[in-house]
């Protein structure tokens, strides 16, 4: 089968597509291996040497299969995509909502918010 894509000889770190070398074709769900930092479909996962039956990682555990959507959710939590402009806007809104000042008025301490004259 001719494939126009350039197959990378090592496991891909790209997201969402199998980076394995299974010649029989990629099938089934794509799993993310946190330990190997690669995406592999079911046949490729099983044929990947670090994932051979009985193989253990550094921590003595077999490599865990992480679903793509779970990985994406985690990734979004850990590295939220917030632009500097958005951060600035949030910051300004925060300033607005928490701004208050204190003034002395006729011998009384008065807490004033920015919007109240």
**Which residue of 35, 65, 66, 72 would you call a contact of Zn ion, by CB under 5 A?**
35
Q: Is 39 a binder of Zn ion (CB under 5 A)?
A: no
**Which residue of 47, 50, 62, 66 would you call a contact of Zn ion, by CB under 5 A?**
50
Spell out where 23-64 has E strands: 30-33, 38-41
Q: What is the edge-to-edge ordering of all strands in the sheet holding 30-33? A: 38-41, 30-33, 65-67
CB of 18 to Zn ion, least distance (A): 3
**Which residue of 26, 47, 65, 66 would you call a contact of Zn ion, by CB under 5 A?**
26
CB of 3 to Zn ion, least distance (A): 12
- CB contact set of 22 (below 8 Å; sequence gap of 6+): 41, 43, 44, 47
What 8-state DSSP symbol labels residue 62?
Answer: P
Alpha helices in the chain (DSSP H): 42-47, 68-78, 84-98
Q: Is 72 a binder of Zn ion (CB under 5 A)?
A: no
What 8-state DSSP symbol labels residue 51?
Answer: G
CB of 27 to Zn ion, least distance (A): 7
Q: Is 30 a binder of Zn ion (CB under 5 A)?
A: no
Q: Is 45 a binder of Zn ion (CB under 5 A)?
A: no
Given the rule CB under 5 A, which residues bind Zn ion?
A: 18, 20, 22, 26, 33, 35-36, 41, 44, 50, 63
């Amino acid at each position: 089968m001719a494939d126009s894509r350039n197959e990378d000889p090592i496991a891909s770190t790209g997201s969402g597509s199998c980076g394995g070398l299974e010649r029989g074709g990629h099938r089934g769900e794509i799993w993310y291996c946190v330990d190997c930092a690669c995406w592999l479909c079911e046949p490729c996962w099983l044929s990947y040497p670090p994932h051979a039956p009985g193989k253990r990682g550094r921590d003595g555990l077999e490599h865990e299969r992480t679903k793509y959507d779970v990985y994406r959710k985690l990734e979004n939590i850990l590295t939220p995509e917030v632009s500097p402009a958005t951060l600035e806007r949030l910051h300004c809104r925060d300033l607005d909502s928490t701004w208050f000042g204190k003034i002395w008025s006729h011998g009384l301490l008065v807490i004033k918010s920015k919007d109240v004259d």
